A and B are shown apart, each in its own frame.
Chain A
Amino acid sequence: MWDILETGAWIVSFILIAYIVIDWFRTDRSYSNEMLTSSREGELEAETERLHREEAKGGQNG
């Protein structure tokens, strides 16, 4: 049984790694690098700050 488990572990590992590598190449080919690397730090914080400013401005006008 342990021989089967050992062989199974090798096979499943290679399948998982193959899936990752194939998907990685497919994704890189399907999308532009600019889009894939477009994430920016602090986006949510900046957006929250902008909304707060707009709310404060709206409150003053109202």
Chain B
Amino acid sequence: MAEKKSERVSLLRVLGPAHVWALGVGIVLVGEFTGWNFSADKGGSMAALIVCWFVGLLYTSVAMIDSEVTSTVAAAGGQYAQAKHIVGPLMAFNVALYLVFAYTMLEVADAILVGDLLVEVAAGAGAEVSRTPFMLLTISFLAFLNYRGVLATLNMNFVITGLAYLSILVLFFSVQPWSQGAVLKLGDMVTPDNALPYGWIGVIAAFQFGIWYYLGIEGTTQAAEEVRSPARSLPFGTLSGIITLLIGAAITWYVCASLLPWQLLGSTFFPLFDAARATGSQTLSTILFWGTILSAVASANGCINDASRAWFSLGRDKYLPQWFSAVHPKYRTPYRSIVFLLPIAVAFGAFAGLDQAITFSILSGVLQYTFMSINIIMFRRKWPLDSIQRGYTHPFHPLPAILLFILCMVTFVAIFLGFGSQLIAMLAFYFIISIWFHFFRYKYVDRAAQFTMPWPKPIGY
């Protein structure tokens, strides 16, 4: 019956700016609860603050650039669709893989985090449990939610992201931030002797983990085909998201650096939870425990949403078998892509470590940001401001693009210092997969159907 009712089925346009905010901030916020603090291990508490500012600049550039391009190229796949229209198919294929890797690995890291936190709580209660069932439950529940519909998925993300963010604010105001010495002891924790224990090279090394303050805000673009008004909702949701995160990152550093010595800050997996415990308040500890859990769940939820959209887009354009581009006729979700990525996430969660998952995610993310800096320059050259209507135009071009490119290069140096072999292995993987795509896959791509936006011919063509 349903087949007779409708011959075409597509993703559902039901989302608004709040959902876009929930998607972007939801993916990222877990980085305040864990991840960023390893920058203190690399360079001390002051290095963690310096990278908070500089990486904040990097991501502000990402958010501005993304808002301009995606408010114009409003298609599922986000940066993949941008690359396809602006650079070319090989770049697009690579960008889609960066996206799928970055989000799937982040999802795995989030699920491991939930499992580890529950294992720690159980150990505190004298019980010994495995993290695997909790990790599996997190991934399977969120895959189920994503399978059943995007509106409920992102409604839930809005609520739990808001609650997780609120837990940071509760901690901040509970420790009387206006009165140093009452609870917070920044002057004792960060002294001239220990502020930068490894000097400026420690600051460079810290960039790699400073990424965690904001990693994933660019994920808002994956909702492009499901928002009711892409030109308005995407820039609004993305830019309000980065503002939320900049405030959250500053608060997080201030509270954690004022309560935890840099050695502990740089080694704990749960800096905000430990900061709450350091206050001696059981209530704050409970609130931050749930904040950590909720932020990890929100992040994994957004990651499943984004990875499946990127994979779906690859299938729709025949960059991968078209089978992956199926949309569920009832739930209107890319269900085959969600199902396909589910066992991959579970397998990585079961067999890979947290540090490996995080490293693969960061590497793919930084490769993507490097592309974005080149992409916006090409976009403005091929389609100048007066040639097509944009939902948002970012200011000071090309300064954000140049800044983004420089900061990406610094981050690559930092990654090379810490994870050189993984960086080279990952680049080799993308090189080999590009050769495969060029010689064996591209012949199946429907080239005439690649360019879908109703734009004039680009300058120079």
Contact = CB atoms under 8 A, between A and B. Distances in A.
Interface of A: 1-3, 5-7, 9-10, 12-13, 16-17, 19-21, 23-24, 27-28, 30-33, 35-46, 49
Given A37-B322, A40-B449, 6 more contacts: A16-B143, A17-B342, A20-B342, A31-B2, A36-B9, A41-B76
A35 B313 contact: no
B329 A6 contact: no
B452 A42 contact: yes
A45 B455 CA distance: 10
A13 B141 CA distance: 7
Given A24-B339, A38-B9, A2 B125 contact: yes
B129 A41 contact: no
Contact of A42 (B7, B133, B315, B453): B453
B318 to A, nearest CB: 10
A41 B452 contact: yes
11 contacts: A9-B133, A16-B144, A17-B143, A19-B144, A20-B147, A35-B3, A36-B326, A37-B315, A37-B323, A46-B452, A46-B454
Nearest to B75: A41
A41 to B, nearest CB: 5
A12 B142 CA distance: 12
A27 to B, nearest CB: 6
B51 interface: no
Given A2-B129, A3-B127, A39-B316, A24 B323 contact: no
How big is chain B's contact interface, by range?
35 or more
Contacts of A32: 3
A17 B454 contact: no
Contacts of A45: 74, 452-454
**Interface residues of chain A: helix, strand, loop or mixed (majority):** helix
A10 B76 CA distance: 33
Contacts of B81: 41
A10 B346 CA distance: 13
A7 B136 CA distance: 12
A30 B2 contact: yes
B329 A20 contact: no
A3 B452 CA distance: 54
A20 B144 contact: yes
B290 to A, nearest CB: 16
B134 interface: yes
Contacts of B328: 27, 36
A7 B147 CA distance: 24
In the complex, the 3 A-B pairs of residues with the closest C-beta atoms, listed nearest first: A42-B452, A9-B133, A2-B127
Given A17-B140, A31-B329, A36-B327, A24 B11 contact: no
B137 A9 contact: yes
